[in-house]
A and B are shown apart, each in its own frame.
Chain A
Amino acid sequence: MTIGNVIRLAALIVLLALLVRPELFSGFFTLFTKNNQPAIYNQGNLLDITLNHLAIVLAATVASMIIAVGLAIIVTRPFGAEFLPLSRSLANIGQTFPPVAVLALAVPMLGFGTAPTLVALFLYGLLPIFENTLTGLTNLPPAVTDAAKGVGMTGWQRLVKVELPLALPVILAGVRLSVVISLATATIGSTVAARTLGEVIIAGLLSSNTAFVLQGGLIVGVLAVLIYDALSALERWLMARTGQLGRAAA
């Protein structure tokens, strides 16, 4: 096992311990409290909040993935090529809109709670996945796509049997970016009453309790690093599996 993996495993164990038995860490977090403030977040179960946070991110990412990959497939087919510029600018708008603004605009329509956060994360996740899917589908080795045509595959067969499997590592790199952005952005969702780790941070900020801020921040940060690394490893495995390690991931 490499040193990196030892550190990752240790981080995972500490993270799980903190979520399941937070009282074990009260000694450490007391260092950051003043005037007998509580050291451990006491307005909810950290594990529940974290699982809810992850569920929101997962739901938003799956939705972005379906739409972004679908769009990228359509605009790389001959019949959809003319929609390429339009879909690009749509995804770009999703990215340039600040998530706070999306939340603010979505609340009057969707009310407080999880829904506006989901919408913001979904819009935010579209662009990286869309761009990467485009790159993956348009930068395939020419000899391979030529052979796929030459052996008599139909357009659909080429897409499913050759193009998507070969583009998968690059698509996954887009998903990884999107997940990490969403993990961080989801904390803002707590400002409109979504149940995410943002509420721990906000509670800490409101009561000047650094220990709360630290807990919320640490959990989000460690989650982001671990998920990023896990997806990177999956990409490398896929690249090796398909003999494409030489091809640079976008």
Chain B
Amino acid sequence: MIEIDDITKSYNGTVVVDHVTLTIEPRSICVVVGTSGSGKTTLMRMINKLVEPSSGHIRIDGEDIAGIPAYELRRRIGYAIQGHGLFPHRTVGQNVATVPKLLGWDKKKIADRVDELLSLFQLDPAEFRDRLPHELSGGQQQRVGVARALAASPNILLMDEPYGALDPVIRAKAQEDLLSIQRKMGTTVVLVTHDMEEAIHLGDTIAVMDKGKLLQCAKPAEIIANPATPFVAELIGTSERPFRLLSLARVADHIEAGEGAGEPIEASASLRDAYAELLWSGRPALPVRRDGQVVGQVTLEALSRLAARPQ
């Protein structure tokens, strides 16, 4: 658990982060959203002491980080940034091995861990271990960057606009990878982004920041339904609200009895995908398939109700 307690950071009188209090539950993904200059990156960088707060405290699992030497704290926290920040003079394998090596693991254990992580990120160890970062594509570099951050199995992973430099197709893939790896490892993730779509897709909770202040911190559905300020509403996008709400739920959770006609949709798809398919094919209901079996249907009428503002 990360407890941010009344944290303020100011540079020469300019307040960048203004009395922010925020608790991040263990094994959850907290996405900090805001425009540039909102203080979101500064807030995140105070968690691993890349920035020293002017006042306030941050506790990790109850321990105040002020008492931990910065380099020691950082070895316990994964850190992945936009533009990956890989060491250009070291191979992919050496990059991933950075933190385990700093922690003094033995050679065999490091080599095994590197191969394990590269495989986890779908990079064949034999092919990629000895390559230099500049020989990789942008998407591969980004994966190596996250693999490096996770190398020593940290409880916490900080990500600063990790997908900012990726094209939409690779970004979607990288987001899915993050979700599945986070579920597998149970890592607590703090991710900073300016993209509300990404925040809703990835976040268990979303923290919205503007001008150094924390405006709202809540579950995605709550933020969409009840934005705390006009700024939050604007960030969500008024015309996008119903679709964003639908994107949060899976077809599996809203199956009705009956059998719609035509091509079925997978139960794992989001309601938003189902809604789009209903509108596009002009059908009133879609059959739902799970493990190859049709198990029911979703209807346009039900989805319309679900997309309406929660009462």
Determine the chain B residues whose CB is within 8 A of the CB of A143 once the complex forms: 81-85
Query: Within the assembled complex, what's the spacing in Å between the Cα atoms of A235 and B73?
Result: 37
Determine the chain A residues whose CB is within 8 A of the CB of B50 once the complex forms: 146, 149-150
Partner of A241 from the list B85, B89, B99 (CB cut-off 8 Å) is B89
Q: Are B82 and A151 in touch, CB under 8 angstroms? A: no
Smallest CB–CB gap between A142 and chain B, Å? 9
The 0/1 profile, CB within 8 Å of B marked 1, for residues 232-250 of chain A is 0000000001111000000
Determine the chain B residues whose CB is within 8 A of the CB of A154 once the complex forms: 71
Q: Are B132 and A153 in touch, CB under 8 angstroms? A: no
Of A144, A152, A165, A244, most buried by chain B (CB within 10 Å of CB) is A152
Cβ of B87 under 8 Å from chain A: yes
Q: Are A166 and B89 in touch, CB under 8 angstroms? A: yes
Smallest CB–CB gap between A26 and chain B, Å? 51
Cβ of B72 under 8 Å from chain A: yes
Q: Are A149 and B81 in touch, CB under 8 angstroms? A: no
List residues of A (136-167) whose CB comes within 8 Å of B's CBs.
Answer: 141, 143-144, 146-154, 157, 161-162, 165-166
Of A149, A150, A243, most buried by chain B (CB within 10 Å of CB) is A150
Smallest CB–CB gap between A157 and chain B, Å? 7
Q: Are B82 and A166 in touch, CB under 8 angstroms? A: no
Query: Within the assembled complex, what's the spacing in Å between the Cα atoms of A161 and B98?
Result: 10
Q: Are A147 and B79 in touch, CB under 8 angstroms? A: yes
Query: Within the assembled complex, what's the spacing in Å between the Cα atoms of A149 and B49?
Result: 10
Q: Are B102 and A147 in touch, CB under 8 angstroms? A: no
Smallest CB–CB gap between A180 and chain B, Å? 27
Query: Within the assembled complex, what's the spacing in Å between the Cα atoms of A143 and B89?
Result: 14
Of B70, B71, B84, most buried by chain A (CB within 10 Å of CB) is B71
Q: Are B89 and A150 in touch, CB under 8 angstroms? A: no
Determine the chain B residues whose CB is within 8 A of the CB of A149 once the complex forms: 50, 74
Of B85, B86, B158, most buried by chain A (CB within 10 Å of CB) is B85
Query: Within the assembled complex, what's the spacing in Å between the Cα atoms of A215 and B148?
Result: 59
Interface size class of B (residues with CB under 8 A): 20 to 34
Q: Are A152 and B132 in touch, CB under 8 angstroms? A: no
Determine the chain B residues whose CB is within 8 A of the CB of A150 once the complex forms: 48, 50, 74, 79, 81, 85, 158
The 0/1 profile, CB within 8 Å of A marked 1, for residues 99-133 of chain B is 10010000000000000000000000000000011
Partner of A243 from the list B70, B84, B134 (CB cut-off 8 Å) is B134
Q: Are A151 and B102 in touch, CB under 8 angstroms? A: yes
Q: Are B89 and A242 in touch, CB under 8 angstroms? A: yes
Partner of A152 from the list B88, B99, B145 (CB cut-off 8 Å) is B99
List residues of A (161-178) whose CB comes within 8 Å of B's CBs.
Answer: 161-162, 165-166
Determine the chain A residues whose CB is within 8 A of the CB of B98 once the complex forms: 151
The 0/1 profile, CB within 8 Å of A marked 1, for residues 164-192 of chain B is 00000000000000000000000000000
Determine the chain B residues whose CB is within 8 A of the CB of A144 once the complex forms: 85-88
Q: Are B79 and A166 in touch, CB under 8 angstroms? A: no
Cβ of B75 under 8 Å from chain A: yes
Determine the chain A residues whose CB is within 8 A of the CB of B82 once the complex forms: 143
Of B50, B81, B158, most buried by chain A (CB within 10 Å of CB) is B81
Query: Within the assembled complex, what's the spacing in Å between the Cα atoms of A56 and B72?
Result: 47
Query: Within the assembled complex, what's the spacing in Å between the Cα atoms of A6 and B84?
Result: 42
The 0/1 profile, CB within 8 Å of B marked 1, for residues 111-153 of chain A is 0000000000000000000000000000001011011111111
Determine the chain B residues whose CB is within 8 A of the CB of A161 once the complex forms: 87
Smallest CB–CB gap between A152 and chain B, Å? 4
Determine the chain A residues whose CB is within 8 A of the CB of B75 once the complex forms: 151-152
Smallest CB–CB gap between B72 and chain A, Å? 7
Q: A149-B50, A150-B50 are in contact. Are A162 and B74 (CB under 8 A)?
A: no
Query: Within the assembled complex, what's the spacing in Å between the Cα atoms of A150 and B48?
Result: 7
Smallest CB–CB gap between B91 and chain A, Å? 11
Q: Are A147 and B88 in touch, CB under 8 angstroms? A: no
Determine the chain A residues whose CB is within 8 A of the CB of B149 once the complex forms: 151
Nearest CB to that of B85 among chain A residues? Answer: A147
Nearest CB to that of A238 among chain B residues? Answer: B89
Determine the chain A residues whose CB is within 8 A of the CB of B135 once the complex forms: 243
Query: Within the assembled complex, what's the spacing in Å between the Cα atoms of A147 and B85?
Result: 6
Determine the chain B residues whose CB is within 8 A of the CB of A157 once the complex forms: 102
Partner of A147 from the list B76, B86, B134 (CB cut-off 8 Å) is B86
Determine the chain B residues whose CB is within 8 A of the CB of A148 once the complex forms: 87
Query: Within the assembled complex, what's the spacing in Å between the Cα atoms of A240 and B92?
Result: 16
Query: Within the assembled complex, what's the spacing in Å between the Cα atoms of A145 and B41?
Result: 16
Query: Within the assembled complex, what's the spacing in Å between the Cα atoms of A151 and B90?
Result: 15
Other 7 A-B pairs with CB < 8 A, given A146-B50, A149-B50, A153-B71: A143-B82, A150-B79, A151-B79, A152-B74, A152-B99, A166-B89, A242-B89
Q: Residues of B with Cβ closer than 8 Å to A?
A: 48, 50, 70-76, 79, 81-89, 98-99, 102, 132-135, 145, 148-149, 158
Residue contacts A-B, CB under 8 angstroms, 11 given: A143-B84, A143-B85, A144-B87, A147-B79, A150-B48, A150-B74, A154-B71, A162-B87, A166-B88, A241-B89, A242-B89
Q: Residues of A with Cβ closer than 8 Å to B?
A: 141, 143-144, 146-154, 157, 161-162, 165-166, 241-244
Closest 10 CB pairs of A and B: A147-B85, A243-B134, A152-B74, A150-B79, A152-B75, A242-B89, A143-B85, A243-B88, A143-B83, A152-B71
